[in-house]
Chain A
Amino acid sequence: DAKTTQPPSMDCAEGRAANLPCNHSTISGNEYVYWYRQIHSQGPQYIIHGLKNNETNEMASLIITEDRKSSTLILPHATLRDTAVYYCIVLIWGSARQLTFGSGTQLTVLP
């Protein structure tokens, strides 16, 4: 699986959009971009995933660049409950057993 690079930490003001970047320059054509988050002392939670088109669900939006070498997770109106570690992962569709979590980005939403 391709390696991802994320900033170790970010802050965001409550109510503003949080934009979390991820670089995955070695991603291959059959690898999807997945985002998970982990709130302190809880298990990771799936957020969204995509292949090459932008995706949106009730939690977030995922913007993938045309060359697929990077992506951005957008939380449109961050709340204090969005404070968590966010993980960007690339893996082949359906190969959940190869899912590995790196260090992620610690997002802190400030009041």
Chain B
Amino acid sequence: DVKVTQSSRYLVKRTGEKVFLECVQDMDHENMFWYRQDPGLGLRLIYFSYDVKMKEKGDIPEGYSVSREKKERFSLILESASTNQTSMYLCASSLWAGGPVEDTGELFFGEGSRLTVL
């Protein structure tokens, strides 16, 4: 089974701190994604990456950056955390969209990281 592992389930940080959220997948997927989930707003895409060192902005990239130095690892960085970044953060991976028939286009999600910024 595909496994997407997020480094921390719960974090509490203070305003202005730098925060790293790590995500690792073990199925050699090309695509990786970072979402945040807030009540009433559904899942919103922050950034995605379709290859090592490649990244593209999603719908809400402001205040975030990402790093993908290795294929299996995709990190989300909050340079200076703010209270409005308190949220559930979800990492996901998928096979390359233009791949063979067995590429279902489905996303595999991690368990989520609940970040509280005080």
What's the minimum C-beta distance from B86 to chain A, rounded to whole angstroms?
16
Binding site for A on B (CB under 8 A): 4, 31, 33, 37, 40, 42-45, 48, 56, 58, 90, 92, 94, 97-99, 103-112
Binary contact track A50-70/B, C-beta < 8 Å → 1, others 0: 000000000000000000000
Query: Is A29 part of the contact surface with B, judged by Cβ < 8 Å?
Result: no
Residue of A nearest to B94 (CB): A96
Interface size class of A (residues with CB under 8 A): 20 to 34
Contacts A43-B90, A44-B90, A101-B43: A96 and B107 contacting too (C-beta < 8 A)?
yes
Are B43 and A94 in contact, CB atoms less than 8 angstroms apart? no
- Pick the contact of B109: A44, A49, A95, A97 (CB < 8 A): A44
Residues of B within 8 A of A43 (CB): 4, 90, 92, 109-112
24 contacts between A and B (CB under 8 A): A34-B105, A34-B106, A36-B107, A42-B111, A42-B112, A43-B4, A43-B92, A44-B90, A45-B109, A46-B104, A46-B108, A93-B105, A94-B98, A95-B105, A96-B33, A96-B105, A97-B56, A97-B97, A99-B43, A99-B45, A100-B42, A100-B44, A100-B45, A103-B42
What is the count of residue pairs linking A and B with beta-carbon distances less than 8 angstroms?
63
Pick the most buried of B42, B56, B98, B103: most chain A CB atoms within 10 A of its CB.
B42
Given contacts A46-B106, A91-B105, 7 further A-B contacts (CB under 8 A): A43-B92, A44-B43, A46-B107, A93-B105, A96-B94, A96-B106, A97-B31
Residue of B whose beta carbon sits closest to that of A42: B111
